[in-house]
């Protein structure tokens, strides 16, 4: 009885998930592919005044106006030049579309959930602990698995309470 339950949990843990991996300042990150709507090149961005500095502004995505957040600025990385590799990942955040500017989008990878390890207590990464939901350690590379919804909802709370 006990062991049967154990196996079932194992099976569930090893379910495959797909991640979109992207680069930021030479580090690699991944987000759940189901959250990513599309990946676009940099369009003209309209600046929105009186917003936190990491909000680049808003863009027109086929008739919808969506906010754009610079991941570099959000994680206090040095500002980089916009290159031909720069992309905006349009993601669905709790029903609202939002764009994140990243240095480059690399690929979609498949991993089994068991490969995701809990994040170490002290991470050598620019990303805040809170939105880091795991680390994926494959032979030749290290990937940080992010939960951006957590990041956004925290930002929102702070904006409304006027801390930022």
Partner 1 sequence: MAIECEDQELLEGFLTETTELLEKLDDDLVALEKAPADTELMNGIFRSIHTVKGASSFLGFELLVKVTHKTEDVLNRLRRSELAVTPEIMDVILEAVDLVKLLVSDIKGGDIVEREIDGTIAKLLPYLSDNAKEATVLRQPAPATPVETPAAEQQGTAAADPPPAPEPQAAPETTPAKGAPPPPPAKTPSPPAARDVDKKADDLSDNSTVRVDVKRLDDLMNQVGELVLERNRMMQLNTDFQGGGEDSAFGEEFSKLSKRISFVTSELQMQVLKMRMIPVEKVFKKFPRIVRNMARDLGKEVDLVVLGEETELDRSVVDEIGDPLIHLIRNAMDHGLETPDERTAAGKPRKGTLILSAAHEGNQIVISIKDDGKGIDPDRIARKAKEKGLVTDEQLAAMGQREILDLIFLPGFSTKEKATDLSGRGVGMDVVRTNIKKLNGIIDIKSELGQGSEFILKLPLTLAIIQSLLVEVEDETYSIPLAAVLETLRVEEREFHVIGGQEVLKLRNSVLPLMRLQKVFNVAGSGRARTACYVVVVGVAEKRVGLVVSRLLGQQEVAIKSLGKYLANLPGIAGSTILGDGRVTLIIDPAGLLENSDGSGGGRIAA
Residues of this chain that bind partner 1 (CB under 8 A) = 44, 46-53, 55, 57-60, 63-67, 93, 96-98, 152, 155-156, 159-162, 164
Q: How far is the CB of 103 from partner 1 (least distance, A)?
A: 22
Minimum CB distance to partner 1 smaller for 84 or for 161: 161
Which one, of 89, 100, 93, lies nearest residue 20 by Cα? 89
Interatomic CA distance for residues 116 and 14, integer angstroms: 10
Helix (H, G, I), strand (E, B) or coil at 90: strand
Distance, in Å, from the CA atom of 76 to the CA atom of 93, rounded to the nearest integer, reads 22
Query: And the tokens for 72?
Result: 């570099």
Please, which contacts does 132-138 make with residues 24 or more away whose CB atoms are closer than 8 Å?
A: 136/19, 136/30, 136/111, 138/111
Tell me how far, at minimum, the Cβ of 52 lies from partner 1, in Å. Answer: 6
Shortest reach from residue 116's CB to partner 1, in Å: 27
Of the pair 58, 104, the CB lying nearest partner 1 is at 58
| CB nearer partner 1, residue 34 or residue 48 | 48
The nearest distance, CB 67 to partner 1, in angstroms, is 5
Of 27 and 54, the one with the shorter C-beta distance to partner 1 is 54
């Amino acid at each position: 009885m006990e062991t049967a339950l154990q196996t079932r949990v194992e099976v569930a843990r090893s379910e495959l998930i797909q991640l979109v991996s992207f680069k930021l300042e030479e580090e690699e990150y991944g987000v759940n592919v189901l959250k990513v709507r599309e990946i676009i090149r940099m369009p003209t961005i309209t600046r929105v005044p009186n917003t936190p500095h990491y909000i680049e502004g808003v863009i027109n995505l086929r008739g919808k106006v969506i906010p754009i957040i610079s991941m570099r600025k959000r994680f206090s990385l040095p500002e980089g030049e916009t290159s031909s590799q720069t992309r905006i990942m349009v993601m669905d955040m709790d029903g609202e579309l939002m764009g994140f500017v990243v240095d480059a989008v690399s690929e979609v990878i498949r991993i089994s959930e068991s490969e995701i390890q809990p994040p170490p207590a002290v991470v050598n990464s620019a990303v805040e602990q809170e939105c880091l939901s795991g680390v994926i350690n494959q032979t030749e590379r290290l990937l940080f698995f992010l939960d951006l919804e957590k990041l956004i909802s925290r930002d929102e709370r702070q904006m409304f309470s006027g801390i930022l």
